[in-house]
Structure 1
Amino acid sequence: MQQDPIIQMRDVSFTYAGAPAPSLEHVTLGVGAGEFVGVVGPSGAGKSTLAAAMSGAIPHHFSGELYGATLVCGRDTCESSLTDISRVVGSVLQDIDAQMVSSVVEDEMLFGLENFGVPHDEIPGRVEEALSTVGAAALRHREISTLSGGQKQKVAIAAILALRPRALVLDEPTAALDPASSELVFETLRRVREREGIAVVVIEQKVALLAEHCDRVVVMSGGRVELDGAPREVFAHAAELRAMGVDSPRVARVTNSLVEKGLLAPGTPPSLTVAEAHDAVAALLAPKKPGGASAASGLRPAPGRSPHVPASRPHAEGAEPVVRLEGVGFSYAGTGDGVSGVDMSVYPGELVGVIGQNGAGKTTLTKLLNGLLRPAAGRVLMAGMDTRTTPISTLAREVSTLFQNPDRQLCKNTVIDEVAFGPELHGVAREEALARAGRVVERFGLPADESPFVLSRGQRQMVALASVVVMEPRVVLLDEPTAGLDYRECMTVMDTVRELAERGCAVVMVCHDMEVVSDFAERVLVMADGRVVGRGPTDEVFAQGDLLARASLRAPEVARLSAALAADVDARLGGRTQVGDLVDAIGEMVRNG
């Protein structure tokens, strides 16, 4: 801990008013000038509460029992006004819509600057600099209602950066961002802290980003700090992290697995980047490949398929797609944004991923599929129904949607009533609806009698998905289904989605998490600028670097590591997309050396 931390928490415990248990317990933590601290943990671990304490929202906004002290620049937050705290600690909330106060991006930027009394001659430069820093200069005059979730996130970060605080606390800032934008946010935060000495605290589930960019990683569970150290130290505790519901970077899992199998020396630290893992494996195999070519024999070919995903199967003769788009086009009035020339077919039992950068048209595509938008050109057929002529209520009997923000789908006072609401709305008797809801709630491990609104965001996301699953639809549309979920919840959700597909449901999943897409999608569509620019089996698409770059995407870590090893070490290491498969292949090469 630094001698003079900007933020210092001393034995802090906090219980929200009316809550049965504390959300923070005896937390002692310091953040110094220029530090880049990542916070990770399962849903409900207390991460958002930690952010609220650091930013002064506790005690000034949230009521409850507070013990200990949080100091900002040496002053107790209980003795400082929220305005004074905000001049030092800028915060970006998990719910971006709740943070927006204006209807136009430029006005959003001006709001904080004018309220904090920034001299008028400085304001234009600050607005321009902040928007450019996060790659959102082109959005300056856009209406916020027309922005994608990721674009709103960029604007929120820019508005805080324009105030030039001494510390930034960000709660899941990349949850709605594509991979390139997520990397941009972290690079932006790193530049800001290096240039200005700003302390940065980022609550994040994308552990690969934390591993690559942060000085420290803090792991929380049950309201407590369980681990606090350099990324390499923290991610060496893979088994402990997994038990808590926290993932490790895939490349760290590769080197950790090689240590567990005795292929790397005990105590070898985990790799944090693809380059580090490549060098570790290349050094391991160097003696095995005289003359630069591997002498391994009997190495099985790359399967090119995740164990989560069934091998592609031919469609039954004469089978009709349950989702069909033919030359579909749509544009929003005043912006010209939308989609054009989209052709797409999805058959029963398929899980198809839709990937692309923020603003590529993915969410618009989802709204065209569920009938919320009607195509201006072409036609959309869902379960044989033309969305231009079919009422949304009729479509909803066969097509269920999980939106980006779960709070827009929740309306009941208990989880069980929320999940039963859909079947009841469509005429299922209440007793049967509750029975169906109970089975799904139990499958998801949700608290049946609690209010959805007191749950963590990840848990609310699971409630919303449970409300989709219980409908037993023919088509499920998922718009960022794993955003904000911890590793355990992510696997629970996606295993459930996979089971839906196995039972014959067609699943269309918009997703920015390339690891999830790689693990579960049978094939993918790549979108850019409102068009489908590529499509095919998932592993084949992830091997096309030029295509991914066009869509501001990056292949998952294991796919990139596999490709690098195939190019530099042995071609037979190519085409691997899963940690276990790559580790097994390396082990075979060592044994057969």
Structure 2
Amino acid sequence: MTESATAEGPSAPAAAPAVEVEGLTFRYPGADRDSLRGVDLRLERGDFTAVVGGNGSGKTTLCKTFNGLVPTYWSGTFEGSVRVLGRDTRGETVAALSHLVGYVYQDFGNQLVRPTVRDEVSFAPVNFGLADHRERTEEALELCGIGHLAGRFTWQLSGGQQHLVALASVMSLRPGVVVVDEPVAELDPARADAVYEALADLNARTGTTVVVVEHHAEYVARYARSVVLMADGAPVWHLPTRQALERAEELERHGIPAPQVVRAVRALAPDSPAPLTVDEAVRALRPVAPEPEPPAVGGVPPAERPEAEPVAELSGVRHGYREVGGGWSPVLDGLDLVLRDGERVALVGGNGAGKSTLLRLLTGLKVPREGTVRVGGTDTRTVRPSALADRVCYLYQRPEQMFLKDSVAEDVAMFPRGRGREDTDALVATVLERVGLSDLADRDGRLLSGGQQRRATLAVGLAMRPSLLLLDEPTSSLDTASREAVIAMLDTLADTIRCTVVATHDMHLVAEWAERVLVLDGGRLVADTTPARLFVAEELMAAVGLVAPQVTRLGARLGMSPPPLSVDGLLARLAPVAAGTDEERREHA
């Protein structure tokens, strides 16, 4: 039995709990071990619960038992019971359970079935014959901030916009339980906040029980009232959020390091309770903060860099698509850009800013409507994309699109073997070891967890040995341990890859890895700078929907200029003050 949440959440109602799991064990067909084993778990009505744990710990499989997909569609050996709002899922159809449990999947694109956004959001209430379907549709569109997209076709949307549509389509049914697998995956930070605010509002206003599968401890701290830690197919404990975050070392062992503000306060003010927000961390650290430093002034200066050899160049690039009605929808508008040898480039901006389109233009998979794209001096209009594959590799935003063979090893080997490399087997073994997937080499990549798929696609890219590596949201859906492994691998690529460009909403990745940041907004390049300079440009950050990492916001609130980009950077500047005498700390306070 796990420890149970008993505080900082709603009191247990007399009615049946939202979710009650007893003795649950499940094994997928052909698997050599149980994905879930002996699960006992109780989620009270009205709770906001975060399910955390490393990739492959069983989080998603557990949540799919709540709406009957396991074992109805994902069949296997199922023992024990799962009851939702008092009803045993084994005695209900998936259709019946959809009235009780709304589910937004990690591969959310597959649950969009209607042509336009409004059609999609209204589909479920119309299909169930609800008289107030129009009201529900408009409410859900407003909750998710996508009312302006109502008339757009879903296939025209960016990945982040599609995620919001999938969430709105679930919210339109107002189910008793809503499960969201990776709520902020592929969303820019401002929209990620909006999604969680919508979930929190739904939870508070209607009493809907919210369950999120999450790797971002910051969102867990800010919004969840209880936390379930999963490991090896079973809950380790189920605790109120603040108590869970006090177990920082245990969380870190399971691939979920505590939020940056928790790590900072534990190091500098260990007697203070674990902070759940930046505001709480500021209050805890104010006594050890130095005198405020003069703030940076001016706009966003460009990054300074040597004029290294160009790897790719874009000149006067305009690109977009024709809408079904015949209108023109621009995606990139008059883009001029040079990518140079040795650069680590982060490409950032809100959902729909044009990041993924820019990456596809660099591969030659698309050619611009106007302007020129050159890779290694070659105009992409003059050659087939396959001819550029030796120089540029693009890793898709949706990792499942990268798997064409029956095993991860075969997918990784496909390109070098097709190019006649004699050392292909040794190369495959090396890259799989580097991404930590040697034990899964014979597994079908399409059947791996989301985080495992991300690492497998990186292995595919490493095996191609390109001069220009393009990654679209490489850390999305990764637990923190896997995310840090990706950053470490990117750090070691300079010996084989001349330039790496990462399109990302992960500001921690930007802070810890990038040397140059390109900011897109409305298809235009609005800033070409460094992480430190970007994060202090508050007006620009707000305009393009970006939010600086917690530790950067904490440092700025404490008067540090420039603010730190990492917890280690913060500690290096504040630890000497914290280690001083009481009199010295009073002088600095």
Q: Would you say same fold, with TM above 0.5?
A: yes
Letter in 2 for 1:221: A
1:227 Cα deviation after fit? 3.0
**Cα separation, 1, equivalents of 2:252 and 2:162:** 32
Tell me which of 226, 230, 241 is aligned to 2:251: 241
Contact persistence 2:288–2:574 (CA under 8 A): no
**Cα separation, 2, equivalents of 1:31 and 1:228:** 9
Contact persistence 2:517–2:530 (CA under 8 A): yes
Aligned residue number for residue 221 of structure 2: 211
Aligned residue number for residue 432 of structure 1: 423
Q: Which range is displaced more, 527-536 or 276-285?
A: 276-285
Tell me which of 224, 233, 258 is aligned to 1:223: 233
Tell me the TM-score normalised to structure 2 length: 0.91
Contact persistence 2:288–2:577 (CA under 8 A): no
**Cα separation, 1, equivalents of 2:449 and 2:477:** 9
Tell me which of 307, 322, 327 is aligned to 2:311: 322
Letter in 1 for 2:196: F
Q: Which range is displaced more, 447-456 or 468-477?
A: 447-456
1:502 Cα deviation after fit? 5.1
Contact persistence 2:344–2:513 (CA under 8 A): yes
**Cα separation, 1, equivalents of 2:168 and 2:330:** 23
Secondary structure in 2 matching 1:490 = helix
Letter in 2 for 1:126: R
Contact persistence 1:90–1:169 (CA under 8 A): yes
Contact persistence 1:33–1:199 (CA under 8 A): yes
Task: Name stretches of at least 5 consecutive residues in structure 2 with no aligned partner.
Answer: 6-11, 296-302, 585-589
**Cα separation, 2, equivalents of 1:449 and 1:56:** 29
1:254-304 deviations in Å (ceiling 9; x for gaps): 11222xxxx532xx322121111111100345xxx7xxx48xxxx9x99xx
Please state if 1:275 is matched with 2:267.
Answer: no
Contact persistence 2:466–2:497 (CA under 8 A): no
Please state if 1:33 is matched with 2:45.
Answer: yes
1:367 Cα deviation after fit? 1.1
Tell me the TM-score normalised to structure 1 length: 0.90
1:3-53 deviations in Å (ceiling 9; x for gaps): 531211112111112211111112222222221111111110101101101
**Cα separation, 1, equivalents of 2:497 and 2:33:** 42
**Cα separation, 1, equivalents of 2:120 and 2:44:** 29
**Cα separation, 1, equivalents of 2:213 and 2:398:** 18
**Cα separation, 1, equivalents of 2:316 and 2:246:** 50
Please state if 1:332 is matched with 2:321.
Answer: yes
Contact persistence 2:255–2:480 (CA under 8 A): yes
Cα–Cα, structure 1 residues 337 and 128, in superposed 2: closer, same or farther, change >3 Å?
A: farther
Q: Cα RMSD between the aligned structures?
A: 1.9
Please state if 1:392 is matched with 2:385.
Answer: yes
1:504 Cα deviation after fit? 4.7
Give the ranges of 4+ consecutive aligned residues of structure 1 lying more than 6 Å apart after TM superposition.
none
Aligned residue number for residue 309 of structure 1: none
Contact persistence 1:59–1:77 (CA under 8 A): no
Aligned residue number for residue 48 of structure 1: 60
Please state if 1:557 is matched with 2:545.
Answer: no
Q: Which range is displaced more, 583-592 or 178-187?
A: 583-592
**Cα separation, 2, equivalents of 1:188 and 1:564:** 27
Please state if 1:264 is matched with 2:261.
Answer: no
Aligned residue number for residue 529 of structure 1: 522
Letter in 1 for 2:343: E
Secondary structure in 2 matching 1:233 = helix
**Cα separation, 2, equivalents of 1:397 and 1:193:** 50
Percent of counterpart pairs with the same letter? 37
Contact persistence 2:435–2:458 (CA under 8 A): no
1:387 Cα deviation after fit? 1.2
Secondary structure in 2 matching 1:332 = strand
Cα–Cα, structure 1 residues 432 and 191, in superposed 2: closer, same or farther, change >3 Å?
A: same
Contact persistence 1:353–1:510 (CA under 8 A): yes
Tell me which of 146, 154, 169 is aligned to 1:136: 146
Tell me which of 482, 485, 491 is aligned to 2:484: 491
**Cα separation, 1, equivalents of 2:495 and 2:420:** 24
**Cα separation, 2, equivalents of 1:153 and 1:17:** 30
Please state if 1:21 is matched with 2:36.
Answer: no
1:243 Cα deviation after fit? 1.6
Secondary structure in 2 matching 1:336 = strand
Contact persistence 1:89–1:168 (CA under 8 A): yes
Secondary structure in 1 matching 2:423 = helix
Secondary structure in 2 matching 1:170 = strand
Aligned residue number for residue 11 of structure 1: 23
**Cα separation, 2, equivalents of 1:480 and 1:256:** 31
1:412-457 deviations in Å (ceiling 9; x for gaps): 11111110001123x224x522221111011112122222122111
Contact persistence 1:412–1:418 (CA under 8 A): yes
Contact persistence 2:451–2:482 (CA under 8 A): yes
**Cα separation, 1, equivalents of 2:68 and 2:473:** 30
Q: Which range is displaced more, 76-85 or 510-519?
A: 76-85
